[in-house]
Amino acid sequence: MLLALDTATSAVTAAVHDGATVRAERSVLDHRRHTETLAPIIRDTLAAAGIAAADLSAIAVGVGPGPFTGLRVGIVTARTMGLALGIPVHGVCSLDAIAAEVAAGEAASPAEFLVATDARRKEVYWATYRDGRRTDGPHVGRAAELVEDVRALPCAGRGPELYSDALPHAITVRDVSAAALADFAHTEIVAGRALLDTEPLYLRRPDAKPRPSGP
């Protein structure tokens, strides 16, 4: 029993995978209230899957890249649950989860594509993919400053709706789905491929800075 969760994009999302399929998923679009939203979503997802937290055997959490505060909520929650339950916690690049949903979608899904999510400060977190596997990234930067060949790719994530002039070829997948993250993590574990640790992929320093000491 694998619990997957992510708070790196506008979606606060959780899902339970039983080793064969996703049993339940719950998501709320709320990029400002991760702390208040995540615990009830996890509770409701476990209930919908018909299990208790004690039945879990592993946790997979999106480690970004994403905004500092929201990303930290998901990772700290996953680490705390893993410690309390005595089960492993695996990290997954959140952009990889979006890419996995794109690759598992329609038969006509593009072989090569871009994932670009909102990094604020008029920037995007981005990575490129071929057949669902990351070929470059993750990086952070202005959408308009990506090289022309990258900007010309079909693009998932919130990037195209925020910067349509620079990223004109939108794919409908916009945020992380915990179901897709769970499927991706399960596939990697079964294949014997290593997942990430749970260190957050901030890619840049947080906005908050300590005050200088002294008078």
DSSP 145: G
Q: At residue 208, does pLDDT exceed 50?
A: no
Question: Which tens digits make up the pLDDT trace of 159-171?
Answer: 999 999 999 999 9
Q: Give the span between the Cα atoms of 34 and 59, in whole angstroms.
A: 18
What's the predicted TM-score (pTM) here? Answer: 0.92
> 2-94+177-190: which CATH topology?
Nucleotidyltransferase; domain 5 (3.30.420)
Task: Provide the pLDDT for residue 106.
Answer: 62
Q: Give the span between the Cα atoms of 26 and 15, in whole angstroms.
A: 6
Asked if the domains 2-94+177-190 and 95-162 are classified in one and the same CATH topology, the answer is yes
Task: Provide the pLDDT for residue 69.
Answer: 85
Q: At residue 212, does pLDDT exceed 70?
A: no
Task: Provide the pLDDT for residue 195.
Answer: 97
User: What integer is the mean pLDDT of 193-200?
Assistant: 96
H/E stretch holding 139 reads strand 133-141
User: What integer is the mean pLDDT of 88-96?
Assistant: 98
Residue 163 neighbours by CB distance under 10 Å: 21
Q: At residue 191, does pLDDT exceed 60?
A: yes
What is the token pair recorded at 21? 């399929």
Q: Specify the 3-state DSSP secondary structure of 79.
A: helix
Residue 149 neighbours by CB distance under 10 Å: 9
Q: At residue 210, does pLDDT exceed 90?
A: no
| Domain spans in the chain, listed from the N-terminal domain onward | 2-94+177-190, 95-162
**What whole-number percentage of the chain has pLDDT above 90?**
85
Spell out the CATH class of 95-162.
alpha beta
Q: Which of 69-73, 104-108, 170-174 has the lowest average pLDDT?
A: 104-108
